[in-house]
A = this chain, B = another copy of it.
């Protein structure tokens, strides 16, 4: 009775093929190159075939978005070796920024696009994001244990830090930094990041 198992396996392989192709088109040619018909062309199947493996385009993009979080987790992995909390937070910021700039399309999909996530079920979706965020919460707690970021809750601090870095890379990725001279744009980003670090380092809560 190995037939149904083979079937299952083939189905999984096809799903994988579609996904890999979508991922490749996405990484190579960016967002707009990924259309159902486009993927279909690439794998030499009819467009409608994809719908036998994925409910709709959102489900497909949700899978891509998971791949993005996998990549981000990979980027974060070396942080486990950094014991000093403030240094770890610094490195984490740098790696977050680097990930965003090296994979702008993935970043858009993960954090900026509206569609593919809210339409999906809201329960398990954020498991991938949760890991990354847990990483941040841990680093904040460790920093607070050393006297930094006093007087604010861990959650507030985490959201504050995430907001800043996210905002910084978003402005760049969405091309909203044209205010600053083309040449020095990267310098401005670095400077702003350093300024933020400086503020966190030198902030001490008000004496009671």
What chain B residues lie within 8 Å of A156 (beta carbons)?
188, 191-192, 194-195
What chain B residues lie within 8 Å of A51 (beta carbons)?
none
**In the complex, residue of chain B having the shortest beta-carbon distance to the beta carbon of A133:** B179
Say whether A113 faces chain B, with CB atoms less than 8 Å apart. Answer: yes
With A176-B111, A203-B202, A203-B203 as given contacts, are A163 and B159 in contact (CB-CB < 8 Å)?
A: no
What chain B residues lie within 8 Å of A108 (beta carbons)?
114
Docked complex Cα distance between A151 and B191 (Å): 11
User: Does the CB pair B174–A192 fall under 8 Å?
Assistant: no
A112 to chain B, nearest CB (A): 6
- Of A113, A157, A178, most B-chain CB atoms within 10 Å: A178
User: Does the CB pair B195–A112 fall under 8 Å?
Assistant: no
Contact with B along A149-170 (1 / 0, CB 8 A): 0011101110110111111101
- Of A117, A192, A194, most B-chain CB atoms within 10 Å: A192
With beta carbons under 8 angstroms apart, the residue of B112, B153, B194 that contacts A174 is B112
What chain B residues lie within 8 Å of A160 (beta carbons)?
164, 192, 195-196, 199
Query: How many positions in chain A have a CB within 8 Å of any CB in the partner chain?
Result: 51
Docked complex Cα distance between A171 and B136 (Å): 16
What chain B residues lie within 8 Å of A114 (beta carbons)?
108, 174-175
With A114-B175, A125-B178, A171-B166 as given contacts, are A202 and B200 in contact (CB-CB < 8 Å)?
A: no
A residues within 8 Å of B by Cβ?
Answer: 108, 111-114, 117-118, 122, 125-126, 129-130, 133, 151-153, 155-157, 159-160, 162-168, 170-171, 174-176, 178-180, 188-189, 191-192, 194-196, 198-200, 202-206
What 13 additional pairs, Cβ within 8 angstroms, besides A111-B174, A111-B176, A113-B174?
A112-B174, A114-B174, A156-B192, A156-B195, A159-B189, A160-B164, A160-B192, A162-B171, A164-B196, A167-B168, A202-B203, A202-B205, A203-B203
| 6 interchain pairs, CB-CB under 8 A | A111-B174, A126-B179, A133-B179, A159-B168, A160-B192, A162-B167
